[in-house]
């Protein structure tokens, strides 16, 4: 790091200053100045070197050593490895990583945001080539600011970052159509004749929860149904949470004829709770989930859900993380309803 004089004082010139002057990402500036083997376009290289010359920037020898000591390893951070949703995503990443000759390190946060920040730091210390954040982002400004700072530090040493789902950070992203899938589910249930609904929600700050919940509620509103706040109960994306939320909703609103769980794991828990209470699905209550995890087709009744291309999410994220593109990209993947036996028109008894 070099010094330059500004307003009579010596100021440290950082790689971020060079990247800002050149109008490129930190990762691109690092690849040019710290000796990475990854290709950079002639135009980008000229802009970075010109900015470094203007600012009298001298590359940090330690940073150069880190960039050159690549490990061909990819770090993947997930919320819960026991969740089939993440297992399918990891399967997609693993298969693509093997084809690309990369080793994969999996970090499980147990849905604790602080652990996610710690893992970014630990993976940087391991000199991984890229980091994939496979869990949903948080709608929390302080957390997003801290995560951005950690990822910027990683990128300044030449690391690549890709995320799965909607995050409030600047990174390559693969995003499933959570909003559209939830809207389609609401319209499907409405067209079946349902007018009384309950929603089993996920963690409130997760962007995935917000997108799926909002898509469903917005579609109901467009159909003339105002869902009261009390008809939305958190199940925390777990089986037991889904069971508890289903019982709470049915005790609050005995007339409910359709339950929407924001993921299949909660829907399966809700299905178990209905069975224990002697409530038949779909004869008395229709039940829908989201994700289409493998077991969704095997439970009784088989679960109507929204199919998310989970394995493809992982594969696409790895492709972005290992690419040499200099501009940020977002890949949108469609979702689709899979109709099975857990849904039917409301019976005369339950709708009356």
Same domain, yes or no, for 86 and 112?
yes
Same domain, yes or no, for 170 and 252?
no
CATH number of the structural domain spanning residue 45: 1.10.260.40
Average pLDDT over residues 216-229: 98
CATH number of the structural domain spanning residue 139: 3.40.50.2300
The number of domains in the chain is: 3
Write down the pLDDT at residue 60.
Answer: 63
- Per-residue pLDDT reduced to its tens digit, 125-152: 888 999 999 988 999 999 999 999 899 8
**Which residue in this structure is represented by tokens 């009384």?**
196
- Per-residue pLDDT reduced to its tens digit, 251-273: 999 999 999 999 999 999 999 99
Same domain, yes or no, for 240 and 280?
yes
Write down the pLDDT at residue 38.
Answer: 64
Write down the pLDDT at residue 125.
Answer: 86
Given a cut of 70, whether residue 93 has pLDDT beyond it is yes
Write down the pLDDT at residue 35.
Answer: 63
Quickly list H helices, 223-309.
239-252, 264-276
Q: Which long-range contacts (CB under 8 A, 24 or more apart) does 70-73 make?
A: 70/37, 70/127, 70/129, 71/103, 71/126, 71/127, 71/128, 71/129, 72/101, 72/102, 72/103, 72/129, 73/102, 73/103, 73/104, 73/105, 73/126, 73/127, 73/128, 73/129
Q: What is the pTM of this model?
A: 0.80
Same domain, yes or no, for 285 and 194?
yes
- How far apart (Å, rounded) are the C-alpha atoms in residues 112 and 115? 6
Same domain, yes or no, for 151 and 93?
yes
Q: What is the DSSP letter of 36?
A: -
Given a cut of 80, whether residue 289 has pLDDT beyond it is yes
Burial class for 225, CB neighbours closer than 10 Å (0-12, 13-18, 19+): middle
Same domain, yes or no, for 221 and 301?
yes
Same domain, yes or no, for 85 and 139?
yes
Same domain, yes or no, for 128 and 224?
no
Point out the domain boundary residue: 22, 50, 66: 66
Domain coverage including residue 13? 2-66
Query: Shortest CA distance to 314 belongs to which of 131, 107, 134, 168?
Result: 134
Same domain, yes or no, for 84 and 153?
yes
Write down the pLDDT at residue 198.
Answer: 98
Write down the pLDDT at residue 43.
Answer: 87
**Mean pLDDT lowest for which of 4-18, 160-174, 308-322?**
4-18
Q: What is the DSSP letter of 317?
A: H
Write down the pLDDT at residue 228.
Answer: 97
- Is residue 344 within 8 Å of residue 287, measured between CB atoms? no
Same domain, yes or no, for 170 and 188?
no
- Is residue 22 within 8 Å of residue 51, measured between CB atoms? yes
Residue 133, H or E segment: strand 130-133
Same domain, yes or no, for 230 and 269?
yes
**Mean pLDDT lowest for which of 115-129, 180-194, 291-305?**
115-129
CB neighbour list of residue 147: distance below 8 Å, 6 or more residues apart: 116, 117, 120, 169
Quickly list H helices, the chain.
15-22, 26-33, 42-55, 61-68, 84-99, 113-125, 141-156, 178-192, 207-222, 239-252, 264-276, 310-322, 348-351
Write down the pLDDT at residue 12.
Answer: 64
Same domain, yes or no, for 198 and 115?
no
């Amino acid at each position: 790091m070099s010094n330059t004089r500004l307003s009579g004082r010596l100021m440290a010139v950082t790689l971020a200053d060079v990247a800002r002057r050149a109008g490129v990402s930190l990762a691109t500036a690092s690849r040019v100045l710290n000796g990475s083997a990854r290709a950079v376009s002639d135009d980008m290289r000229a802009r970075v070197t010109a900015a470094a010359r203007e600012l009298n920037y001298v590359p940090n020898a330690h940073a150069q050593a880190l960039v050159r000591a690549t490990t061909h390893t990819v770090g993947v951070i997930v919320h819960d490895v026991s969740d089939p949703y993440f297992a399918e995503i990891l399967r997609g990443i693993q298969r693509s990583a093997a084809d690309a000759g990369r080793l994969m390190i999996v970090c499980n946060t147990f849905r604790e945001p602080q652990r996610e920040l710690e893992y970014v730091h630990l993976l940087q210390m391991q000199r991984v080539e890229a980091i994939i954040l496979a869990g949903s982002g948080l709608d929390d400004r302080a957390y997003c600011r801290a995560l951005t700072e950690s990822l910027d530090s990683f990128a300044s040493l030449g690391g690549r970052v890709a995320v799965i789902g909607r995050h409030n950070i600047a990174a390559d992203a693969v995003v499933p159509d959570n909003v559209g899938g939830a809207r389609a589910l609401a319209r499907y249930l409405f067209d079946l004749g349902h007018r009384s609904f309950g929603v089993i929600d996920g963690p409130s700050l997760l962007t995935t929860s917000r997108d799926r919940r909002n898509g469903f509620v917005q579609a109901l509103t467009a159909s003339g149904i105002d869902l009261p706040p009390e008809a939305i109960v958190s199940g925390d994306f777990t089986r037991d949470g889904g069971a508890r939320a289903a019982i709470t909703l049915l005790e609050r609103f005995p007339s409910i004829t359709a339950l929407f769980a924001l993921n299949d794991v909660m829907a399966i828990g809700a299905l178990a709770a209905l069975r224990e209470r002697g409530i038949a699905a779909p004869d008395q209550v229709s039940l829908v989930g989201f994700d289409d995890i493998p077991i969704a087709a095997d439970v009784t009744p088989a679960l109507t859900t929204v199919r998310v291309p989970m394995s493809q999410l992982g594969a696409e994220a790895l492709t972005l993380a290992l690419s040499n593109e200099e501009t940020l990209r977002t890949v949108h993947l469609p979702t689709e309803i899979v109709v099975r036996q857990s849904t039917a028109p409301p019976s005369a008894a339950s709708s009356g």
